[in-house]
Amino acid sequence: MTASTQVAIIGAGPAGLLLSQLLHGAGISSVILERQSRAYVEARIRAGVLEQGSVDLLTRAGIGSAISAHGLIHDGIKIAVDGEVFQVDFRKLTGARMIVYGQTEITRELIALALSRGTEIMFEAKDVALHDPDSRSPSVTYRADGSERRLACDFIAGCDGQHGISAQSLLSAGSQKFEREYPFGWLGIMADCAPCDDEIIYAYHDRGLALASMRSRTRSRYYIQVPIDERIEDWPDERLWDEIALRLGRTVSANLPRAPSIEKSIAPLRSSVLEPIQRGRLFVAGDAAHIVPPTGAKGLNLAASDVHYLSEALIAHYRDARDDKLEAYSRTALRRVWKAERFSWWFTRLMHRFPDESPFEQRMQMAELDYLRSSTAAQRMLAENYAGLPL
């Protein structure tokens, strides 16, 4: 069976769904292929701290009212150093602010929008393969409902994550991977209890980082730094809550509610960038192109900025018969990606304890934290990067 569309999108995560919606607004057709079931995709728990640029794109895509109604506005973050807390006020320093709105909700709403407008999302598409991406007539094959199908298209947008076929295709064509793996992970707990503070709190402690965040006014998310080989089974709720309280310090933990976990997980931390992120008529966006550590909340926002550049390039091709933006997509997107990678690397280095650091390096880390606490210029640099550099 053969079908056709203008843009074949691999992956029904936020990047692929957002791209499809923005293209639809410009009259460009797409089909989305997703290897997992709809139930699986809509149940995935991910972060959701949004830069203003991401909010603007999601508003264009049609879910701005939901974000306005249910998102939590943040004017900055707080940083605790061995229990002493100071605030970095983004609003005051840069005029920017962040909005917390869960990626799970974003995904569900974008799926509902896509299906309501008649866009085809082929869930449980197996054995996806890309064909002739370097030609003017690429195509994608996959298996669904027990039969093999072919999707002819003008372009392929790879939004299928770091282990997907799109990244593999780039690597096989000579793209280079730049990466850094960190010697620790984040142990996270989700619980139905009110956040301990109105702002997100990053805590530096001699035992490692702690992070107090939230998904709503009644659902909280906490993380602690753990060795890379740690096991979830070794962290019952009571032990984990005790460790969170210790690292946050007495001032913050005095307001720390405790509730049974509804989700616990350990995520390794790594930085990774493919370069270039295009090959012929294959263009890759989001986690398929790059990974950032969660410190600084850049993952979803970088996916959104990729989609911004890619959607503008595809719209220019179909509307104006211009291909200069498509030809420059990788250079344009990666310019912003590398700046975000730099910030995430710096902030990760600042807030974590590294097992191999020397006493000198520990003193330098403490000096930089002290400088950040006392310097408006240092806080403005953090604010500009955390709140999001211009698209």
Catalytically active residues, by annotation: 74, 202, 294, 298, 386
The residues that bridge with 152 in the sheet, in sequence order, are 4, 139
Question: How far apart are the C-alpha atoms of 90 and 74, rounded to whole Å?
Answer: 9
Question: How far apart are the C-alpha atoms of 280 and 131, rounded to whole Å?
Answer: 11
Contact 20, 120 (CB under 8 A): no
Radius of gyration of the chain (CA): 21
Contact 356, 49 (CB under 8 A): no
Contact 70, 101 (CB under 8 A): yes
Q: Distance of alpha carbon 314 from its chain centroid, rounded?
A: 23
Name the strands in the sheet holding 261-275, side by side, starting at the edge strand that comes first in the sequence: 84-89, 76-81, 200-204, 210-214, 220-227, 176-191, 261-275, 290-291
| Token digits of residue 210 | 């702690």
Give the list of residues 6+ apart from residue 321 with CB closer than 8 angstroms, or none.
none
Quickly count: other Cβ atoms within 10 Å of residue 116's Cβ.
9
Helices and strands in the chain: count of H runs, count of E runs:
14, 21
| Token digits of residue 303 | 């996916």
Question: How far apart are the C-alpha atoms of 249 and 84, rounded to whole Å?
Answer: 7
Going by their DSSP bridges, the two strands 2-4 and 126-131 should be labelled as unpaired
Kindly compute the dihedral angle of the four CA atoms of residues 36, 188, 109, 77, in this order, to the nearest 10 degrees: -150
Question: How far apart are the C-alpha atoms of 24 and 117, rounded to whole Å?
Answer: 9
In three-state secondary structure terms, 35 is coil
Contact 296, 45 (CB under 8 A): no
